[in-house]
Structure 1
């Protein structure tokens, strides 16, 4: 594993500088995919209820780093920034707390060239300031936060390319195949410490504080559910048989009129799929992706299985078991996204708290997630109906 791919949670100044540069290179490569396709990066795009226009996303990435690093804001409160933005009306245009999703599609944004110039200036100043920081956690915390934010946004930009059917970057990561006959793993259970500590290094606020959690014995798949396994569910009429679907899932399914996962296409006796605008044979031994919570629950009901709880997933991921694999897709869990006991928001106050009890917890990481961001402790979250992300599932025995 190279230096820039090592976990950023305890990264020193030199590693952070390299990672910030790598993240920006990846961001601009993703952004350019939209412009190379001849797409107007704001006005020419159809509105998406969760994703943001790529030009706004690019400006927000720079604004976020400027806010917490250059403007030395201790929190996301509008009055907390010590200095003004380098960009005229920067706060009005790119503060996610001030501009809701729908408004982002109708803003009078600067030109792509002007936004890129803003990005370059912010990054140059960030790296200069970082070179003079003390190599201690308190000083490096805002840099780690800005890096995490850019990596998360990068995955959203890639999801947008998939949604629009546009070609991705030449250097984008490939989705690995799952091992054949991986089977399942039984764990004896016991009391574990669930969550991350704040004393040193970076942790997202929803991972904290750590607390004791008893996990009963359980048996879990070694790998996520594959396309081949999910295709059996589809072929068996899984989308038509409402006994497998929850009330919320049935309501969603009626609105969608869907009989297979998003981007799947029937071609005679085989399945094909659309990957970044290219039609291809569905890779049967990859993890199923772009399924939502309702589809994951229906598959489990059909298979006589269940989703893992967050605690079970973290127990298995931290066990060191050589067969347990993750990093193919974000995995739905059976756990609603809620705060751990004693939760307190961090500087990025809106990262977690607005979504508690409205979203469902996801665990793991996707093939598109930078290696430095991956952690067995990380709690992702998403609305149950969303299918645009690189989300899949694994199952447990009852």
Structure 2
């Protein structure tokens, strides 16, 4: 090996030659140690030391610290996807004979995971009611986890998470909530006795439709258990670049959420006055009890909602979707662009109805475009499909 080989393969020692405004992207798989003693100590404290990026990485650690602080938790672990975060949590704490109680309509992939886990002796049940006493009556002797979305997927209904969490603690049941809709800015479930909060950072936290990422936030004790099994052994590791992009987006999260809250109110006001819309699913449109829960738990309103149409004709429904020009058809949400996602996909009528949804149920994400342009696009598509008012 020549000296040129040594030059090509050596890493210069870090010197404070610059002070970047943005955090650095530490793109490395492993880290070097200055001594055997440092190596031994780091390996014995892998989750608070930098040994291997599959476990910890400085860029990702910075993101985890910020999300934990925003959510009001002691510790956070970031994953390669929201589903990675959900899977790691459920697989860490569930054992053969345990049951999971799903409250409200939840993300379909979460229920699919539990259906898969039936082969390992884990069972699940669901309750569609938002009433605390009805939810409590659905708890079994084998219930290990109560899994909540509040607001829920598709219907965006709220439950009294504090009361449910307190009932669960008395019975030594863990509570887990998917808090993606509200973000840590608009709802802090851990402050209301919930054990674990999960975020899909692909949505509002990412904010630009360019990352897939998830996070679990809880106490140091529970996160350590997830780190040792659900995270380390399943290997759903977020890349340092993904963590950097999430950090970039956190800088604008407060102003984006304030803008989106204003925009969704404009869009809802338009939809409420249109007789072609049968129902709007959003906490702003709930009954008196739902609005009371919103005041108790929410510090703001996300811009994801759903609508059902008064006319059940599915051909007209398809024409409405195809007539949208500004609003795109697409999965996920939380970025700049407004999106719609129909629950009905031509071959899944039975599944949609089984979930308690109307066949004309469509999810609408109000993005960061001018709200008057979003309203104009909706109005045009409604006129094309259902006729002018």
TM-score by length of 2: 0.29
TM-score by length of 1: 0.29
**Per chain length, whose mean CA-contact separation is higher, i.e. which structure has more relative contact order (CA < 8 Å, sep 6+)?**
1
